[in-house]
Amino acid sequence: QQTACIFDLDGVLVDTAVYHYKAWKQLANSLGFDFTHAQNEQLKGVSRMRSLDMILEWGGIRKSDAEREELASLKNSWYVAMISKMTAGEVLPGSLELLRQLKQQGIKIALGSASKNSALILERTGLAHFFDAIVDGNAVTTSKPDPEVFIKAAELLDTAAAGCVVFEDAFAGVQAANAAGMGVVGIGDAENLKGAQIVIKDLSEITVAEIEALNRF
């Protein structure tokens, strides 16, 4: 049975979290408050609108739906200005080597990200050509921990859920992968990634053979 790989983007292949943080911080500051690094951690893997709502709540600020739309697009304009300058040098350690090896061995590769900016990031960092399918924030109606994003990716790859192995840095993403019945590799701190089959620091710490052993067939 064929194994396929589904990669989250931010925190797994590239570190765009630093740009999200700068843009959200600028927005919060413009509204007269700030938020902590620990609070920022909670935004990882969370959609743009949900992130905005969490930040407004931290600042004790209420806004109308029209104002929320405006604030979200303001943040996004600052974020897009920053990611437009990204380079291939910002790809996280081990990513390029692993993607190359998977391709070489004929293993299908999909993106499963909450971001609506994934196409720009993949282009800027030179990773776009590796992907057989891309499912991102533009393609889903329900965000992680709902499994929709990964189920859609498996469908596009024409692979059974049990054959898919997901790579995730966010707890909500680990939950989504488990809900989809897929294998899941956590990237980061094991404490925050309960439910992952294994947790590694970055993609340099895993081989294709180890990935194939994680499918759920």
- Consult the annotation and say whether 169 binds a ligand: yes
Which residues contact residue 196 at a Cβ distance below 8 angstroms, ignoring those fewer than 6 apart?
A: 168, 174, 184, 185, 186, 190
Least Å distance, CB 20 to Mg ion, is 10
2 vs 40, beta carbon nearer Mg ion: 40
Q: Which does 143 bind (CB under 5 to 8 A by kind): ligand B16, Mg ion, none?
A: none
Peptide bond before residue 93 is cis, with ω within 30 degrees of 0? no
- Consult the annotation and say whether 117 binds a ligand: yes
Least Å distance, CB 121 to ligand B16, is 8
Q: Is residue 8 flagged as an active site residue?
A: yes
Q: Enumerate binding residues for Mg ion (CB under 5 A).
A: 8, 10-11, 45, 169-170
- Consult the annotation and say whether 143 binds a ligand: no
Least Å distance, CB 202 to Mg ion, is 13
3 state SS of 6: strand
Q: Looking at the DSSP assignment, which residues form a beta bridge with residue 134?
A: 111
How far is the CA of 187 from the CAs of 174, 206, 213, in angstroms?
Answer: 10, 11, 17
Instruction: State the number of CA atoms in the 13 A half-sphere of 48 facing the CB.
Output: 23
Q: Enumerate binding residues for ligand B16 (CB under 6 A).
A: 8-11, 20, 43-48, 51, 76, 113-117, 137, 170
> What are the helix (H) ranges across 2-64?
17-30, 37-41, 48-58
| Bind-site residues for substrate | 8-10, 24, 43-48, 51, 75, 113-117, 144
| Bind-site residues for Mg(2+) | 8, 10, 168-169
The residues annotated with a catalytic role in the active site are 8, 10
